[in-house]
Amino acid sequence: MVPIVIHVIGTRRRAALKVITVGHERYRIGPWRGADDVGYVAPLSSITAYGVDRACAKLQTLGYDHVITAALSVVEQRHFIARGFQRREGLHLLRHDLSDIPDADIAPSISSRRGRKRDRTRVLEIDGAAFEPFWRLDENGLEEAINATPASRFRVATEDDAIVGYAVSGRTRNTGYLQRLAVDPACQGAGIGTMLLADCLRWSRRARTSSVLVNTQERNEGAYRLYRNHGFEPLPDGLAVLERFASS
């Protein structure tokens, strides 16, 4: 039997995310967005159906009877579907080639700055207002978004010093990622989303990445229009979030 090695991220047992190692495979597991009875699994390496089984078995021992995956590629989905997972939500995957970065037409009172830890409470309030319940981040989710890639950028948009939006960007050697973007619904339409999007693209281009990827749920027509209107092109294979009961 391949041993499971666990590294804990966080301090509270039920709230903590853990990275488990199954042979050469790695998975992040823990609660889904702070839920008491829904678990979360995200592959961090190439995976096998056996590794998926072991990750779900560990979630079951932690008391989770229902498991939600991270956004998975088509290849990753096959291993999960082979172990009883079903599609919960589809996502568009879009790519920007960094050839034409948009300008934002915004009021002088709106600007952006580096996000700080003390900003996170307000950022999560905005996230909760901007997204439907299934997609809202909790503290663990925001932390994961910020630390998902070797390099990251956390920016907040402000209007007269009040935080009205935020973005998390990430970067590997060759590819940039717009991990999360949210604007206070009361302030949407003022160019804040475009400003934060453009910041991600400029930061990625300065680092000589080849492109930036972003995903958005298929039902989020507003976000999809924002990305398409500013140079993102949809890729043929999207992503999906899958689910199953841990005992299946």
Q: Which two tokens stand for residue 63?
A: 């008391």
- Superfamily covering domain 4-90+239-244: Gcn5-related N-acetyltransferase (GNAT) (3.40.630.30)
Q: What is the length of the chain?
A: 248
Query: Is the pLDDT at 57 greater than 50, yes or no?
Result: yes
Amino acid 246: pLDDT: 58
Amino acid 12: pLDDT: 37
Q: Does the fold of domain 98-209 match that of domain 4-90+239-244?
A: yes
Query: Is the pLDDT at 13 greater than 50, yes or no?
Result: no
The residue type found at 99 is S
Q: What is the pLDDT of residues 151-177, one digit of tens each?
A: 999 999 999 999 999 999 999 989 999
16 — pLDDT class (breaks 50, 70, 90):
confident
H helical segments located in the chain? 49-61, 74-81, 120-130, 139-147, 192-206, 221-229
Token look-up 């990430």 returns 170
Q: What is the pLDDT of residues 109-155, one digit of tens each?
A: 999 999 999 999 999 999 999 999 989 999 988 998 999 899 999 99
Task: Characterise 36 by phi-psi region: left (phi > 0), alpha (psi -120 to 50), beta (else).
Answer: alpha
Rounded CA separation 110/203 (Å): 19
Query: Is the pLDDT at 190 greater than 90, yes or no?
Result: yes
Query: Is the pLDDT at 213 greater than 50, yes or no?
Result: yes
Domain boundaries, the chain: 4-90+239-244, 98-209
Q: Give CATH for domain 98-209.
A: 3.40.630.30
Q: Which own/partner contact pairs does 145-149 have at CB distance under 8 Å and 24+ positions apart?
A: 145/170, 145/179, 145/180, 146/179, 148/177, 148/179, 149/177, 149/179
Please state the φ and ψ torsions of residue 59, each to the nearest 5 degrees: -60, -40
